[in-house]
Amino acid sequence: MSKVVAHSLFTEFDIDLFKAGKHFRLYEKLGSHLTEVAGVKGTYFAVWAPSAKSVSVIGDFNHWNADEHKLNVRWDSSGIWEGFIPGVDQGTKYKYKIQSHNNDISTEKADPFARYCEQPPKTASMVWNAEHNWKDKKWMDEREKHNGLDRPYSVYEVHLGSWRKKNGWEYLSYMELADELVDYVDEMGFTHVEFMPVMEYPYDPSWGYQLTGYFAPTSRFGKPEDFKLLVDKFHQKGIGVILDWVPSHFPEDAHGLGFFDGSHLYEHPDRRRGYHPDWKSLIFNYGRNEVRAFLISNAIFWLDQYHVDGLRVDAVASMLYLDYSREDGEWEPNIYGNNENLEAISFLREMNQEVYGSFKGVQTIAEESTAFSGVTKPVHFGGLGFGMKWMMGWMHDTLEFFKKDPIHRSYDLNEITFSLTYAFTENFMLPFSHDEVVYGKQSLLYRMPGDEWQRFANLRMLFGYMFTHPGGNLLFMGGEFGQSSEWNFQESLEWHLTQYDFHSGIQKVIKDLNKLYKTNPALYDKQFSSDGFQWIEYNDQENTVVSYIRKGNDPKDDMIVVCNFTPVPRENYRVGVPKTSQLKLVFNSDDAKYSGSGMGKKTLKPGKTSWNGHLQSVLMTLPPLSIVVYK
């Protein structure tokens, strides 16, 4: 008698949706599910392996013996193998032993839908039902108000393994992070936190971007329910949670998705489209219905089961173009003879439609570095349908400008002003991400020129410019206190530096900028609209000064921003202003509390001298290497 009981969670409708690539809740059916059949408790298993000759569940419950528990293949040509195994309980370790029709080789694979995995370097899946009593109802009910495009978006990007370590080397657990990280992000005033990939990954130096367990939070830091607690605690503090999501590629690890059932099941069979030369990894077959359903189900899973508020989609540019990182002859044009990956484009559109159609108040954010048109335009207008896109050009130009000796900046002022020629073509988020502080690029602080005082003054100014530029903001951990070294994923951030005035001054700047951003509608009401920005002066090369107005829905909220990119103070610097009312200083990056020189006037009364196209103007004192904001 078979030790596997015939049982199924699938209806005919489920199978029809799956084959059509339209089943976006596959995690409710595929994988392992604790259940009861005919009064007997156990686990139902289901796995997609259409090229398999046989599929067995092996695990610690049967001494990893492939002859003990062979699953039944469905009769409907779906390629799904399934069955109920009595007595298999929570925490049972298992894999699928797959014998392929295509060869004589049998492979042992982790469950693509596993909810929990052994801690690497071990690779088994675990039967798991993550129970959690959510306490974030207030946030979820009001999320649409907090998470809209007309709300502040100040994101703290975190690598959980290296944010802080205990005893100098141990990871903080999800539960410890739920206390320490949540309180810190709240104290610093960020509106959102973004986690570099938390889905299970085998190789630490990949930073999580090579996934093998798409439906499992990594076991490095604890159990799945502990990760739910971490998200819950952020929500209780009014902080949104964004996850890095990687639908662009996956590793060739033997237990992973690659060559899953002896065939190119998840990856594209043509190596020109199924292999990524940069990352030595496999690329999903976006034209295969069941693969699209797998990926979209995965996006939905984190929003549904973990209450996540947004997905930052990694490496979108690599998905959009067939010739990405390829030489002539290494890629094949599409049916129209150009280089766009039509199947990937179609997949991204469908993913965004399903995400926004299923959840209120969520956002998807594209890491997309090219000039591909319409990334953040709605799908029904021909766009990809993302909520936001990283403004990689701004990041590159800004850092190139700031690293210059101030004596040369006057010749390159256009590097700072150029972003405003395209700032409103997409809904842009301004990122200073982890990629900018690795591989010899140096920390943000050490990208700044000059002596110690000038480095810190430049960094304070850089952050002020970032927060007052239109768009959302993202800052990688460590940048908020001026970490000296490049980021190292194996080590904790250099928290000891915050005892020094210059570094604690940077921390105070970020706190105050977050408060400024969140409490001044001029900085977020119209952050993705040209109506929210107006130049005052963008071509004062002689003084290397730029000035602009940020505008909210109510004109009384308007703010005047002036940047002095040189270490030379500017006395009696005239700036045209649109109104006759008195101006009050609300932020000065040179304030003494930040370890600046403390120059600058607290209030300004406009006079009747016309300037910069305005009927009135003010005379300012511009501190060295500073940004000042008046309201």
Q: What is the pLDDT of residues 230-272, one digit of tens each?
A: 999 999 999 999 999 999 999 999 999 999 999 999 999 999 9
Residue 64 lies in a domain: yes
In the beta sheet, which residues pair with residue 545? 540, 564
Catalytic residue from among 343, 367, 426, 590: 367
Confidence of residue 168 (pLDDT cuts 50, 70, 90): confident
List the catalytic residue out of 314, 436, 537, 591.
314
Encode 319-347 in three state secondary structure. Answer: HHECCCCCCCCCCCCCCCCCCECHHHHHH
Is residue 199 assigned to a domain?
no
Task: Supply the CATH number for residue 65's domain.
Answer: 2.60.40.10
pLDDT tens track for 446-502 = 999 999 999 999 999 999 999 999 999 999 999 999 999 999 999 999 999 999 999
- Is 314 among the catalytic positions? yes
Q: Are 629 and 559 in contact (CB under 8 A)?
A: yes
Q: What is the 3-state secondary structure (H, E, C) of 525-589?
A: CCCCCHHHEEEEEEEECCCCEEEEEECCCCHHHCEEEEEECCCCCEEEEEEEECCCCCEEEEEEC
Mean pLDDT estimate for the chain: 96
Secondary structure (3-state) at 266:
coil
Residue 214 belongs to a domain: no
Confidence band, pLDDT 50/70/90 cuts, at residue 355: very high
- Give which of 365, 317, 320 is closest to 344, Cα–Cα: 320
Question: Which pLDDT score is estimated for 124?
Answer: 98
Q: How confident is the model at residue 101 (pLDDT cuts 50, 70, 90)?
A: confident
How far is the C-alpha of 226 from the C-alpha of 521, rounded, in Å?
36
Please give the torsion angle defined by the CA atoms of residues 107, 113, 114 and 115, in that order, rounded to the nearest 10 degrees: 170
pLDDT of residue 525: 96
- Identify the burial level of 141 via C-beta atoms within 10 angstroms of its C-beta, where 0-12 means exposed, 13-18 middle and 19 or more buried: exposed
- CATH code assigned at 555: 2.60.40.1180
- Position 67 in a domain: yes
Predicted pLDDT of residue 104: 73
Parallel, antiparallel, or unpaired: how do β-strands 281-282 and 213-217 relate? unpaired
Q: pLDDT tens across 23-33, in order?
A: 999 999 999 99
What pTM, to 2 d.p., does this model score? 0.96
Q: What are phi and psi for residue 628, nearest 5 degrees?
A: -120, 145
Q: Kindly state whether residue 324 falls inside one of the protein's structural domains.
A: no
Domain count, the chain: 2
- pLDDT of 2 reads 64
Boundary residue ending a domain (84, 110, 127): 127
Residue 333 and residue 573: Cα distance in Å, rounded? Answer: 56
pLDDT in tens, 360-410: 999 999 999 999 999 999 999 999 999 999 999 999 999 999 999 999 999
The residue from 108, 127, 146 where one domain ends is: 127
Give the pLDDT band (50/70/90) at residue 1: very low
Domain encompassing residue 598 = 530-630
- What local confidence, expressed as pLDDT, does residue 334 receive? 94
